Amino acid sequence: MNNKRKEDLRSKRLALFFTLGGSLRLWDKIGHLSRESRIYKRLAEQLGEIIFLTYGVRDEKYADVLASMEVLSRPWWIPVKLYSFLMPLIHWRALKKVDFLKTNQMKGAWTAVLAKILFRKKLVVRCGYEWKLFAKRAGVSQLKLALIHAIEWFCYRFADAVILTSEEMERFVSNMFGIPSEKIVVLPNYIDTDLFRPMDIEKVSGRLIFVGRFTEQKNLLNLLKAVKDLPEIELVLVGNGPLEGSLREFARKYNINVIFKGRVPNDQLPALLNTAEAFVLPSLYEGNSKALLEAMACGLPVIATPVEGNREVVKHKVNGYLTSGISPEAIREAIIKLFSDNSIREKLGRQARDFIEENYSLNVLIQKELSLLQNLIEK
């Protein structure tokens, strides 16, 4: 980016609208504060100012952690959903001065649309996952699907640019909502490849690791069934969620060699990942999985089910291993094949790391986002 363009952006301000109900306190609680804020710290070095508009009460206490970014919190006496409509009015002084409005997710993006209408600013609607696509796969009611469709149609129509994290999402949004392709930019989730990297840490023999929420989407019961008759495999499950109790019960019943680690802060995750010989993501459906990308950045060979989000990242026997399906048998077969050949694991791990550095590193995606903002200035 040339000096003139840098000067243009250094005078610009960006306001980030948090997901409905989202807060810095929540990010901190689930161990995601450092990861989620890292990209904005880097963007802040190239922009005039970044403002976080959150649903937390007293989120300003995190201002020191966020360096030069300003934090605007929710007054304690205003309910979250009502605040999503009042936020642009309450913080009108700050929003009048910004140049770009950006959403963190689609859920709650209407707040940024209202701010665009009121203050006539450039709006970037970002979707880490496509709300309607995931809701449809999760089997929500037709009434709720219709409401989500209306919200998304409204937000996509008012956006000056739309950021999606996968090509599948791009196709879905273009076809479902009639959004022109020139308005859409595919920017996958970034990975800090300085933090997530191969480390000189001794591997635990037979250790297979999963990181994520314990929900139906992640297909963890089938994963437990897959390793049930593989006592040489030590399965480590990092995270929590509504299915944790039933998964623990199943593991106890069949005496499965599994360790439940609970939540692990993002900055402590690389060391844990590096103790494993492989990573597994057995999902029924996926968007652009940060956990998968982080494992690959650490040089782990990965096993993933052949659902569309995974297939965009994992190239079979090139930078990872795709199972033949989502069943316990398909997952077990992939585990046995990968753990039977150390040279294949080493090769896939090296090529996974190279792939992430070339396509998903923080530096690469920072430049792409800055180019997007620059293009909006020039329109």
- Range 78-91 average pLDDT: 98
Exposed / middle / buried, residue 135 (Cβ in 10 Å: 0-12, 13-18, 19+):
middle
pLDDT at 37: 93
pLDDT at 183: 96
The pLDDT confidence band at residue 379, using thresholds 50, 70 and 90, is confident
The pLDDT confidence band at residue 66, using thresholds 50, 70 and 90, is confident
pLDDT at 6: 58
- Mean pLDDT over all residues of the chain? 95
- Range 26-42 average pLDDT: 91
SS3 102: strand
What kind of fold does domain 207-359 have according to CATH? Rossmann fold (3.40.50)
Domain limits, the chain: 3-190+361-378, 207-359
- Report the candidate in 69, 92, 88 with the shortest Cα–Cα distance to residue 17: 88
The pLDDT confidence band at residue 323, using thresholds 50, 70 and 90, is very high
Q: Could you tell me how many residues make up the chain?
A: 379
Q: How far is CA 210 from CA 21, 218, 272, 295, 329, in A?
A: 27, 10, 11, 9, 18
* Same topology between domain 3-190+361-378 and domain 207-359: yes
**In what helix (H) or strand (E) does residue 225 lie, and over which residues does it extend?**
helix 220-227
- Range 196-211 average pLDDT: 98
- Range 14-35 average pLDDT: 95
- Range 218-229 average pLDDT: 98
- Range 227-247 average pLDDT: 98
> Taking 70 as the threshold, does the pLDDT of residue 3 lie above it?
no
Model pTM score: 0.89
- Domain 3-190+361-378: give its CATH code: 3.40.50.2000
> Taking 90 as the threshold, does the pLDDT of residue 172 lie above it?
yes
List phi, psi (to 5°) of 238: -105, 125
- Report the candidate in 35, 69, 371, 25 with the shortest Cα–Cα distance to residue 195: 35
CA distance 298 to 286: 20
Angle between helices 131-138 and 167-177 (to 10 degrees): 90
> Taking 60 as the threshold, does the pLDDT of residue 7 lie above it?
no
Place of tokens 């913080």: 91
- Range 271-293 average pLDDT: 97
pLDDT at 308: 86
- Range 258-285 average pLDDT: 97
List phi, psi (to 5°) of 362: -55, -40
- Range 84-110 average pLDDT: 98
> Taking 70 as the threshold, does the pLDDT of residue 59 lie above it?
yes
The pLDDT confidence band at residue 328, using thresholds 50, 70 and 90, is very high
The pLDDT confidence band at residue 242, using thresholds 50, 70 and 90, is very high
> Taking 70 as the threshold, does the pLDDT of residue 4 lie above it?
no
341-347 CB contacts, 8 Å cutoff, 24+ apart: 344/301, 345/277, 345/278, 345/301, 346/301
- Range 290-317 average pLDDT: 97
Structure tokens at 126: 């970002």
> Taking 90 as the threshold, does the pLDDT of residue 31 lie above it?
no
- Range 5-9 average pLDDT: 70
Residue-wise burial string across 234-269, b where 16 or more C-beta atoms lie within 10 A, e elsewhere: bbbbbbeeebbeebeebbeeeebbbeeeeeeebeeb
> Taking 80 as the threshold, does the pLDDT of residue 316 lie above it?
yes
Beta bridge partners of 50: 14
Beta bridge partners of 125: 162
Q: How far is CA 38 from CA 67, 206, 250, in A?
A: 11, 33, 38
